[in-house]
Structure 1
Amino acid sequence: MTDIMTLHEAPNWQLYRLGQLFDERKEKVSDKDYPPLSVTMNGIVPQLETAAKSDDGDNRKLVKVGDYVINSRSDRKGSGGISSHDGSVSLISIVIKPKGVHPRFAHHLLRSTAFQEEFYRWGHGIVADLWTTRYPDMKNIRLYLPDLDTQKAIADFLDRETARIDQLIEKKQRFLTVLDQKWAATVTSTVTNGLGSDVRLKDSDLSSVGKVPEHWTVARLGHIGRCANGINIGGDAFGSGTPFVSYGDVYKNAELPTEVSGLVQATSEDRSRYSVKKGDVFFTRTSETVEEIGFSSVCTQDMEDAVFAGFLIRFRPFKKKLVPQFSKYLFRNQALRSFFSKEMMIVTRASLSQGLLQKLPVLLPPLKEQEEIASYLHHVEAKHLSISDKTQESINGLKEFRSALITAAVTGQIDVTSWGKQGQTDRRLDQIEEDMALREARACQ
């Protein structure tokens, strides 16, 4: 089997095994003495207060400034970096100390796509997405390295060039944030105030909403439908059987997909008890943070024989209470999100109970008005998604170029001393922007 990191042999670069360039740091510490750090796709950062806290805070790995930390699990591929902080990480992470390699070069090298793929290739496990790579295997990875002066030159080059690319990405991501904020505000305003500007208003008695149209009804969720938790079943029941609506299906989609990828062996009683019908609204029930609790997804057509996960709550409205397409927007509006944030208490893992969900205040326009609001928001959403998707395509192009540039530099495929002088980055960035502008122009025709 060919080593990914040795496919290209640059002139005057020497072949090493990773264990010759790094020492493993295995010292155990407590997060009381060394603050917890998170190993993310963006590097090593202080752990957020809202992150799930381990019950084993006294059994963590020490991290010192300059150490490289990488998550050993394949489902976190790409999470790692040189730490700028002293602290501690979970035992699932590998901590290594550079000893024969420039730290900033090591940062780019070990975060390169080529290295991540090679690291993953050395993993072990039952299924590929749950593989784990241990340091005894990692240290045998072979790679070419230049001398320290060249390493520094490459690190300087990548620091400079990736910063330029990151600025463009950040600019576009800020634009996406503004777009999303504008869309979220439109949804909240429309589902709480309606489409008319001259309707008479009344006090809703809800601090997060204020006044609402006089002819609308304000009700608790538990008064307009029934709630039920999903199926809890052993892991060996998955992989075949009937459709299974997962946590991810709900969290990622305001409207439930007509086809889901999950399958589970469910009895006829299960299929009846945990059925998925048109008009059902599913809410995420558990998560590591409050921010991910209570996300909703509406079912717009019956899903034959399907059941739903135990990490979800199904709300089934009484007849003639809610139009499904209106539910899609109603239950994802900011006022309801603030209700969950305010009412929930978090310990080690946030959990939404049926009791709390049933207290959720809901604004109900007449059914015909619900249809009109849903139609209007669907039209606005289509425009929003068109602009958002094009911007995301441009961001993806920049990220791909960034990744390719790093891999090419740390494996000696490009001469960094001549690259900048030739204006290669400028031309590539200009090309990405021109391609994006051309696609946008065609889309508007």
Structure 2
Amino acid sequence: MKVLESRYDTYQYSDYFKTDLPGHWAEKRLAYLADQRRMAFVDGPFGSDLKTDDYKDSGVPLIQLNNIRDSKHLLQNIKFITQKKKEQLNRHLALPCDLVIAKMAEPVARCAVVSDQYPEYVIVADCVKLTPNLNLVDLNYLVWAINCDYVKVNAELVSTGTTRIRINLGELKKLKVPFPPYSEQEKIANFLDHETAKIDTLIEKQQQLIKLLKEKRQAVISHAVTKGLNPNAPMRDSGVEWLGEVPEHWVVSKFGYISQVVRGGSPRPAGDPTLFNGDYSPWVTVAEITKDDEIYLTETETFLTEKGSDQCRVFKSGTLLLSNSGATLGVPSILKIDANANDGVVGFENLELNHEFAYYYLSSLTDDLRERIKQGSGQPNLNTDIVKALAVPVPSEDEVEAIVGSIRKTREHYKKLEDKAVAGIELLQERRTALISAAVTGKIDVRNWVAPESIDRVNNKDVA
């Protein structure tokens, strides 16, 4: 993607940003760019002043850390407080066209313009509201500047903490941004709005491609494990509504007939430190199984103590597992280690079916398995009786081997395509980041930049 390559005539080195800036630019602290009215630059209330007990389903919306992402104020998972509570927290109000800044990573000091979807908001303790002086600084430029890598590095340098770094209000006020003349700020903001929108469109297309590739891959796998590889094979009704037809010579069994379905268990009491956070036995939870779409589970993040492990069943390496509760109901995984598993997991012991075939079959049901189970039993989770009763097609051993081999090739093929798309997204994101930093520090001169559509309008007018 080609953009302007022109540069300014003169540059001077900035010891603060550790890079060159155009000679006529300055550096300004955020405190200098804030409006001079009271409460123009404030952080959120103390935790004791705003508790989770105050959260409501409607009322005055809060701005939390998770609402500040990718230079946007996201109106997702919003919490609310009452009007009465808001009046107690008037000092922490944020209005549309204010900036809201995150005091905690990731990344620290990220910011966004407050949305105009509501007339007012209240920020929480880990957020800061900045009302900029719009006579000094262009609002959109300021967002681009604060979110650029050069400013982020300086924010991290003055942050504290190890697990999750935090910047306080005082350090935020001292944080500097590159400061061009106002007319150049507007140009830079317009340029970045236009160019990053093009990049974002390309990223979105790549993300849609990945989604389509995953759907296509899953459709191919699902067809293979339920219909086989021979398109001309005679078919028969499986007798299971959601399974439909299967090859005529296949057996339709149930997992309870071809395996021992055993539920995992958690040591008790749950908070006993002598049972958990040990280093003796790997501890498999629903989160471990559902964190990615890898077939094999080779390691866990947490372990039980020997005492904790002794209270639970140990599943041997090679056991097929299935998540049986939560939002990610019905996700399979195959153990490559001996491990304990909690009661959100069931294991298929002595399974009389190729484990990979069974894995692919169960993974093909994951997206709608929850609805099927609800319709069949109304149960909120997959208890062992439900899993035992789950129908499973069983081809001949030779067919199973052929199907598994074909699926492996399919997965490899689609993985290469997905990896290529992921790499494309990473390059686009790097390009986006570099473009923002270059524009905000004057590495490219956009003073004469005109949006292409503006040029087209002028040319069309001349032709007319």
SS in 1 for 2:442: coil
Aligned to 2:181: 147
Alignment of 1:268-283 (within 5 A): 270=309, 273-283=312-322
Question: Could you tell me how far apart the structure 2 residues matched to 1:222 and 1:165 are?
Answer: 54
Aligned to 1:181: 215
Contact 1:271 1:307 in 2 (8 A): no
Question: Could you tell me how far apart the structure 1 residues matched to 2:56 and 2:180 are?
Answer: 38
Unaligned runs of 5+ in 2: 1-13, 35-40, 87-91, 452-464
User: Which of 150, 155, 163 in structure 2 is aligned with 1:114?
Assistant: 150
Structure 1: which amino acid aligns with 2:116?
H
User: Which of 197, 217, 231 in structure 1 is aligned with 2:252?
Assistant: 217
User: Which of 63, 68, 87 in structure 1 is aligned with 2:99?
Assistant: 68
1:94 offset after TM fit, Å?
Answer: 1.2
TM-score (norm 2): 0.71
Structure 1: which amino acid aligns with 2:209?
F
Alignment of 1:4-403 (within 5 A): 6-8=17-19, 10=21, 11-22=23-34, 23-24=41-42, 26=44, 32-35=58-61, 38-41=67-70, 43-47=72-76, 63-75=94-106, 80-87=111-118, 88=121, 91=124, 93-100=126-133, 101-125=137-161, 127-128=162-163, 130-204=164-238, 206-214=240-248, 215-219=250-254, 224=259, 225-229=261-265, 238=277, 240-245=279-284, 247-248=287-288, 250-258=290-298, 260=299, 262-267=301-306, 270=309, 273-284=312-323, 290=327, 292-299=328-335, 301=336, 303-304=337-338, 306-308=339-341, 310=342, 312-320=344-352, 322-333=353-364, 335-341=365-371, 352=381, 354=383, 358=387, 361-366=390-395, 368=397, 369-403=399-433
User: What does the per-residue CA deviation read over 1:85-128, in whole Å, with 9 as the maximum and x for residues that have no partner?
Assistant: 34457735514233133221122223323334443444433x33
Q: 1:171 to 1:89 in 2, by over 3 A?
A: farther
TM-score (norm 1): 0.74
Q: 1:106 to 1:249 in 2, by over 3 A?
A: farther
Contact 1:220 1:358 in 2 (8 A): yes
Q: 1:79 to 1:18 in 2, by over 3 A?
A: closer
Contact 1:67 1:96 in 2 (8 A): yes
Contact 2:281 2:305 in 1 (8 A): yes
Structure 1: which amino acid aligns with 2:176?
R
Contact 1:13 1:144 in 2 (8 A): yes
Contact 1:81 1:110 in 2 (8 A): no
1:385 offset after TM fit, Å?
Answer: 0.8
SS in 2 for 1:389: helix
1:375 offset after TM fit, Å?
Answer: 1.3
Aligned to 1:442: none
Unaligned runs of 5+ in 1: 346-350, 422-445
1:357 offset after TM fit, Å?
Answer: 6.1
User: What does the per-residue CA deviation read over 1:271-320, in whole Å, with 9 as the maximum and x for residues that have no partner?
Assistant: 68353423333445666xx3x44433222x3x14x444x48514233331
Question: Could you tell me how far apart the structure 2 residues matched to 1:404 and 1:243 are?
Answer: 42
Aligned to 1:406: 436
Structure 1: which amino acid aligns with 2:345?
I
Aligned to 2:458: none
Question: Could you tell me how far apart the structure 2 residues matched to 1:36 and 1:295 are?
Answer: 35
1:328 offset after TM fit, Å?
Answer: 3.0
- Choose 1 or 2 for highest CA Rg: 2
Contact 1:220 1:362 in 2 (8 A): yes
Question: How large is the Cα RMSD of the aligned pairs?
Answer: 3.9
Structure 2: which amino acid aligns with 1:33?
G
Q: 1:149 to 1:42 in 2, by over 3 A?
A: closer
1:66 offset after TM fit, Å?
Answer: 2.0
Question: Could you tell me how far apart the structure 1 residues matched to 2:197 and 2:61 are?
Answer: 28
Question: Could you tell me how far apart the structure 1 residues matched to 2:61 and 2:246 are?
Answer: 47
User: What does the per-residue CA deviation read over 1:164-186, in whole Å, with 9 as the maximum and x for residues that have no partner?
Assistant: 22222223222222222211211
User: What does the per-residue CA deviation read over 1:40-87, in whole Å, with 9 as the maximum and x for residues that have no partner?
Assistant: 34622222xxx5x86x85579755322333444325668652233344
Deviates more, 1:175-184 or 1:86-95: 86-95
Q: 1:31 to 1:268 in 2, by over 3 A?
A: closer
Q: 1:141 to 1:419 in 2, by over 3 A?
A: same
Question: Could you tell me how far apart the structure 1 residues matched to 2:187 and 2:315 are?
Answer: 59
SS in 2 for 1:370: helix
Q: 1:158 to 1:193 in 2, by over 3 A?
A: same
Deviates more, 1:167-176 or 1:412-421: 412-421
Q: 1:39 to 1:188 in 2, by over 3 A?
A: farther
Structure 2: which amino acid aligns with 1:39?
I
Question: Could you tell me how far apart the structure 2 residues matched to 1:36 and 1:356 are?
Answer: 44
Structure 1: which amino acid aligns with 2:197?
A
1:234 offset after TM fit, Å?
Answer: 6.3
Question: Could you tell me how far apart the structure 2 residues matched to 1:57 and 1:343 are?
Answer: 37
1:150 offset after TM fit, Å?
Answer: 1.8
1:243 offset after TM fit, Å?
Answer: 4.1
Question: Could you tell me how far apart the structure 2 residues matched to 1:71 and 1:223 are?
Answer: 54
Aligned to 1:428: none
SS in 1 for 2:345: strand
**Alignment length, in residue pairs?**
398
SS in 2 for 1:273: coil
Structure 2: which amino acid aligns with 1:7?
K
